[in-house]
Amino acid sequence: MAVDFISKELKALQDAGLYRRLRRVEGAQDATLTIDGREVINFSSNNYLGIANHPSLAAAAKAAIDRYGCGSGASRLISGNMTLHEELEAKLAEFKGTQAALVFNSGFQANTGILSTLAGEGDVIFSDALNHASIIDGCRLSRAKTEVYRHCDLDQLEMLLKDAPSGARKLIVTETIFSMDGDEAPLAGIVELAEKFAAMVMVDEAHATGIFGSNGAGVAAKLGLGERVAIQMGTLGKALGGFGAYVAGSHALRDLLINRCRSFIFTTALPPVVMAMALSAIDLVRHEPQRRAALWENARSLKQGLRGLGFELGRSESPILPLIIGEAEKCMKFSEQLLARGVFAQGIRPPTVPPGTSRIRMTVMATHTAAHLERALKAFGETTAPA
């Protein structure tokens, strides 16, 4: 039968220890979660600041529904461009210190759409080897030649830039905080190379927005490089606790994307409630720096505790702590053992991470209490790392 391949593929995934299943969370997203009727401590979300269930976001969402209704009814270019879309874009531009911003329905759609708008056949994209799947797919979709440089390797990036055909449009794309390793890209060096070789720079601040920089605007802002990075993409669904994504940059960039970017044009606009949550989240991020302070203190404390237990945490420079286990099946067993001890720390396997580097990806939240961290360390201490 024509569909027989489906069960065969599933069996192959199972045999390779790569079969995935959905786990149901009952109730709201917080520092603890209810899974299978049991409360566990949540070390597996990108809700870094713990505001996904904040009363201010909820109140803003309810007020937006009362005033603007539920759905947006159409794409932005037809009749779906509502007051709150433009309000949020103005606020994002101010937050990021750019001329303009444009909201996307998700980070995945932003990356695929932006890359395929800004580069095409005959152009060259330079992409870090550990960039997110949405960046990889954006490179593919663009039909530009993609030069993948070794993770954070500026020397190789320089060689590749040197070798690029003259006349080709060049675009360097990198995450600023890498989602699965938690390390920071060498952005100052990337920007210098870009200027030397007349390349554009696009950053993905999905895991930096809300956390890095004195006002939470991200790594480019932290380093004072905002004006030298033309395309600053980020998400609204991680530290900002809601959903959706944005790109910040010039008026011209925004205009071109509105005119050419297929993942922006051919999709229903986000509903007003999503904009309202993001507007409220940006206020929290700006006016409550104590959340970032608590996050960093928790990250420091958990890192210290895990290292004290003998765990290697790689190059992490963020609240993302990767505990590399290696083989996929061992990694998932380790994660199950932790869950049995009340600690939800998801195992991450290929293709999300390279083969042989399956890992427990721990993420810290500002709202974890000292007792949560202690319980986690106890669980890790009791769980045998597979040989």
Residues recognised as catalytic? 179, 207, 238
Query: How far, rounded to the nearest angstrom, does the alpha carbon of residue 176 sit from its chain's CA centroid?
Result: 10
Report 50-69 residues binding ligand PLP (CB under 6 A).
none
Report 85-114 residues binding ligand PLP (CB under 6 A).
106-108, 111
Residue 107 Cβ, how far from ligand PLP at the closest point, in Å?
2
Q: Out of 209, 235, 357, 363, which residue is the one contacting ligand PLP (CB under 6 A)?
A: 235
Nearer to ligand PLP, 51 or 379 (CB): 51
Residue 138 Cβ, how far from ligand PLP at the closest point, in Å?
10
Nearer to ligand PLP, 108 or 380 (CB): 108
Q: Dihedrals φ, ψ of 21, to 5°?
A: -140, 155
**CA 258 to CA 240: how far, in whole Å?**
24
Nearer to ligand PLP, 167 or 351 (CB): 351
Per-residue x/- marks for ligand PLP, 165-204, CB under 6 A? ----------x---x------------------------x
Nearer to ligand PLP, 96 or 132 (CB): 132
Give the closest residue to 269 by CA, choosing from 279, 260, 258, 254: 258
CA angle 279, 225, 178 (to 5 degrees): 70
Residue 267 Cβ, how far from ligand PLP at the closest point, in Å?
13
The number of residues making up the chain comes to 387
The count of other CB atoms within 10 Å of the CB of residue 122 is 12
Nearer to ligand PLP, 131 or 383 (CB): 131
Nearer to ligand PLP, 173 or 325 (CB): 173
Report 204-233 residues binding ligand PLP (CB under 6 A).
204, 206-207
3-state helix, strand, coil in the chain (%, to 5): 45, 20, 40
Give the closest residue to 282 by CA, choosing from 229, 213, 187, 230: 213
Residue 381 Cβ, how far from ligand PLP at the closest point, in Å?
30
The count of other CB atoms within 10 Å of the CB of residue 304 is 10
Is residue 134 a contact point for ligand PLP (CB under 6 A)?
yes
Residue 179 Cβ, how far from ligand PLP at the closest point, in Å?
4
CB 88 within 8 A of CB 275: yes
The count of other CB atoms within 10 Å of the CB of residue 163 is 9
CB 187 within 8 A of CB 223: yes
CB 179 within 8 A of CB 132: yes
- Nearest residue (beta carbon) to ligand PLP: 107
Residue 135 Cβ, how far from ligand PLP at the closest point, in Å?
7
Per-residue x/- marks for ligand PLP, 15-44, CB under 6 A? ------------------------------
- Report the half-sphere exposure of 143 (CA within 13 A, side-chain side): 4
CB 180 within 8 A of CB 149: no
Nearer to ligand PLP, 92 or 164 (CB): 92
Residue 57 Cβ, how far from ligand PLP at the closest point, in Å?
16
For residue 351, is the peptide bond before it cis, meaning its omega torsion is within 30 degrees of 0? yes
Q: Where are the alpha helices (DSSP H) in the chain?
A: 4-15, 55-68, 83-96, 107-118, 133-142, 154-163, 187-196, 219-222, 251-260, 262-265, 272-287, 289-308, 328-340, 370-382
Number of residues in contact with ligand PLP under rule CB under 6 A: 14
Q: Out of 132, 291, 303, 361, which residue is the one contacting ligand PLP (CB under 6 A)?
A: 132
Chain residues binding ligand PLP by CB under 6 A are: 106-108, 111, 132, 134, 175, 179, 204, 206-207, 235, 237, 245
